[in-house]
Structure 1
Amino acid sequence: MSYAHPDKNLGIISLAAVKQPSDLAYSVESATLAGYNSFFVRSYGHMRQVIMYADLFWSRLPSIHKILSLFLTLLVLAFMFLGNSDKSQTLALPQLISSEAGFTEYEFKLTTMTPENYAYSITKGDSLSQIFDMLRIPQATMYEILETDLALLALDTLKPGNSLRFWLDSRTQQLDKLEIVFSLAHTVTYQRVDGGGFEYKELIIPGDWTQEVLSGEVKGSFYNSASKVGLDAGDIMEISSLLKEKINFNRGFRLGDTFQIVRSKQMVKGQETGETRIEAIKIINKKREVTAFLYNNSYYDERGTGLERAFSRYPLERKLRISSNFNPNRRHPITRLVRPHNGTDFAAPIGTPVLSTGDGVVIEVKKHAYAGLYIKIKHGQKYKTRYLHLKKAYVRKGQSVSRGQKIALSGNSGRSTGAHLHYELHINNRAVNAMSSDIPIMTEIEGKDRIAFKKMVARYQKNMG
């Protein structure tokens, strides 16, 4: 029997010819040394060739190239020997600008950082859990903030470009405050309070608004034509939802149709915040003029007739018992922390149809650890509604819906003590009591308002041409 060694240079050793264990050891050692000697002889020859070619290459280099090469070599050596200083430094706060940035990129000790805060710019694909882990903030703290955010759901609306700012307690290194910067005009702050837990505060700055006129010709689809002149997806969906009773935005346009849009941009201290508002619309569709004008946060045609259909007071087919009323000052029964109840709870059995209370555009369909499956709808410039703890959603983000349309089935998802529907109404981004607040009612502008409205329409018509 023979055994082939895995290194072919060691040859084949015949075990049958070996009589004693010592002979076997000697034979293997001899064969191994012979193989290694052969390997080193060949390697030495290759090294001599490499050195010879390198010497020839160096001798042919111009003098200036030789000097530069020596200088760069010395610079690298100096960096290697002098760059590994262990001296502790107080570093300025690094601004983390992508999800790939981690603590390994910043070699510092937490105890030497001044001040104790971080800034993080949201990028596509980020998750809140990932960001907290990267900053070494416990997941338990994140869930405390999510619980506080249940009344607002601000963290669910984060998108690329928004910023998070973190403040750490200088003594305990615990998170003391988290701030979301949606824009220069909109921030939400979560502050740790005595006894543990967080409370939130939302700041919305009115800012100044500057107008611009965007006009174009419909070539192909209205969506693509409007996008080319600078209207974003939200603006276009709002226009189509507002005028869907008068224009078929899918197939109702033909060659030669035109549009003029007056849009305002919000400014704070001379900078754009990213918020926009449609002020006036004029569309020439098949030789007829279709218009809409914003007046006192509602839209009207050129005659002063309201374009937005009336709201329903209840998001259900029939009135059900209210199990919990709107209460913005509610406190937790044990912790005594402020936990606003920004909506109305209906004792709806699981599977009860949920209806949109007005015409609008769906802007959120999401699952949340505490709110469960929920839907958010925008109704023009002034109103928004939310429907929480759902079992199933029948609509998607970006879809236009009508008043009374079935959008979901009620459920018991998220943190819920029993099956119910939580319904919210927001006016100008503020939660209000949906059971008692004024809701949109289709009307005509009359009296002194009509005179002011006519003057405004004339001004817009002149600007749009």
Structure 2
Amino acid sequence: MKHIISLLALALLFTTCTDNLKEDDLPIDDQEVEKTVTEYGFALNDFNVIRDSIRTGDTFGDILNEYGVSNAKIFGVATKFKDSFDVRRMVVGKPYMLLNSKDTLNTTQVFIYEKNKVDYAVVDFRDSLQVFSNKKDVKYVEKEASGIISSSLYLSMEEQNLSPALIDKLANIYAWTVNFFKIPKGDRFKIVYVEKYINDTIPAGVDRIKAAYFEHKGVPLYAFEYENDSLKNDFYDEKTENLRRAFLTAPVKFSRISSRYNLKRRIKYYGYKLRPHKGTDFAANIGTPIVATADGTVTKSERRGGNGNYVKIKHNSTYETQYLHMKSRNVRVGNFVRQGDVIGWVGMTGNTGGPHVCYRFWKNGKQVDPFRQDLPASKPLPKKYHEAYFNLITPLRDKLDCITY
């Protein structure tokens, strides 16, 4: 009995002594160790961290003045480091982070601005002023998608929760060969694409499409991405033909044709008199970007009469295009524009009953219907690259063919 009592007393003493131990005396496994949190390459534990986003009216100076950064340093960033970080181009809604000192002054020591999900700018006020751009670690994951169009490409892809960026990239690939404003039900698509992830789990958008298949009116259209040191990125079919043509089918994306080219048009309001329509109207919301349908030189950029704000482009000795009723123009006479460049925005200037762009197309000085023209294609892939091209696309074509709808 005495032996049992002694053991109980010893156990009680050990427990009491353990309870009275200071935290520093405990084994390391029993201590609560503060975990170091690292972001953008900085140990956040060393700072008071403030996260926010750019709001309307915010300026770089206003944000940092509040936390003790001198005007001299702010001015230095604004004037000496424009190439790395132009403070005038901060966008409302973009997130930023302040790393402030852990003292009563709470002075900002580091400012970090996210340009997008991957790229960010760092302004380090400690010691000598440093400003630089960097990227988050990105993982690239290959994915597949497919679908059958029931109403429009946009809605069919959106129903599958595919991103607008992926829709836009697919539409751009086939913009020269498929008229997305009159696409029949039953057309189908397959895509092999690459998506970006930050920290393995956070989606950061679509990187690129590697290969695509679009069946339009029963005609199969393959597209494979290809580039090398001598060729810029482009898409070719299974026979090495370039998918690009000299002209895009439309000057706006995901719109609808509200009025076609029609030389026999009669309007009730004008007593059914013959009033030919020599353009194609694309209805779109005010502010929708209008793009040049082909490379060329701007010959007109002005506001005049029923045309409203308009731009005219000469592409070569054969073709010219014109874009009417713009809200505002983005080019001047003499500018050289590339296919897809934004030349203005949809509006309602001039004679118009609603927001749209009237697209006019000239061939040899005569206005014609662009949808009835056999427009020239771009050059095919040079023969010297064929072997490398076929080696690249063979497994990609196999992947496309194996994707089910």
Q: Report the TM-score range of the alignment, normalised by the length of the smaller protein.
A: 0.3 to 0.5
Which one has the bigger strand percentage?
2
- Provide TM-score, normalisation by structure 2: 0.48
- Flag the structure with larger Rg: 1
